């Protein structure tokens, strides 16, 4: 089963959004339309992700883009993780529950698995490398927002389970999931959000 989608020649729609505006107005969008997202747009999001900072420029990330039937790999991952924790049940009941788990992979037309991939650089520190991979996800989310797309960064226990890593072909002991980004055109209004005054979370040390 191919996890790639054919390239298109459609022009990429670029938004003129100030970076500070993008940071302030980005929201997690959990409901998106089934309309496909052009591959060229997805590639621009990945390019933006790749410009995240990393110590010693290790770039400890890679991405698995799932569209169409390619999302089945993620669906099987959800099903396998869930099944491992269930008690015995009838075959009919089991299949019904597994179908619900598999359906989680189809909540958006595009799902991008962000993967932390261990660097060979001996100077690399795990916590710093993981933070760099997470920064890449933030870049991707901001770029998606600038393109008028809705996205949500999902995680949770299934993401950290070895059965999910196996379903997505991650290398044991070297790679782990940083996030599952569900992506598409918004089918909901952005939720209102508030932030605590930054003055409450800032300490100034001055002469």
| pLDDT confidence of residue 7 | 44
Q: Please check if 27 is assigned to a binding site.
A: yes
Is the confidence at residue 9, as pLDDT, over 80?
no
Is the confidence at residue 3, as pLDDT, over 50?
no
Q: Please check if 24 is assigned to a binding site.
A: no
Is the confidence at residue 148, as pLDDT, over 60?
yes
Percent of the chain whose predicted confidence (pLDDT) is above 90: 88
Mean pLDDT, the chain, rounded, equals 92
The pLDDT tens digits of the residues spanning 74-94 come to 999 999 999 999 988 898 999
Q: Please check if 28 is assigned to a binding site.
A: yes
Q: Please check if 26 is assigned to a binding site.
A: yes
- Provide the strand spans (E) within the chain: 61-67, 110-117, 150-154, 175-184
Cross-strand bridge partners of residue 112: 65, 181
CATH superfamily of the domain spanning 19-67+108-187: NADH Oxidase (3.40.109.10)
Q: Please check if 39 is assigned to a binding site.
A: no
End-to-end alpha-carbon separation of the chain, Å?
Answer: 63
Helix (H) or strand (E) holding 73: helix 72-84
The pLDDT tens digits of the residues spanning 16-67 come to 689 999 999 999 999 999 999 999 999 999 999 999 999 999 999 999 999 9
């Amino acid at each position: 089963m191919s996890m790639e989608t054919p390239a298109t020649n459609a022009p990429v729609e670029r938004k003129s959004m100030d970076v500070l505006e993008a940071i302030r107005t980005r929201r997690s969008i959990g409901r998106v339309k089934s309309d496909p997202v052009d591959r060229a747009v997805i590639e621009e999001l990945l390019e933006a992700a790749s410009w995240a900072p990393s110590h010693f420029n290790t770039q400890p990330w890679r991405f698995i883009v799932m569209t169409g039937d390619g999302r089945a790999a993620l669906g099987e991952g959800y099903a396998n993780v869930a099944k491992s924790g269930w008690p015995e049940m009838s075959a009919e009941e089991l299949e019904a529950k597994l179908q619900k788990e598999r359906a989680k992979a189809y909540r958006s037309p595009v799902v991008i698995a962000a993967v932390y991939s261990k660097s060979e650089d001996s100077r690399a520190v795990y916590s710093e490398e993981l933070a760099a991979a997470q920064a890449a996800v933030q870049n991707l989310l901001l770029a998606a927002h600038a393109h008028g797309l809705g996205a949500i960064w999902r995680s949770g226990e299934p993401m950290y389970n070895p059965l999910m890593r196996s379903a997505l072909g991650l290398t044991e002991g070297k790679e782990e999931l940083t996030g599952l980004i569900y992506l598409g055109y918004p089918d909901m209004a952005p939720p209102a959000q508030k932030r605590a005054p930054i003055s409450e979370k800032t300490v100034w040390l001055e002469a």
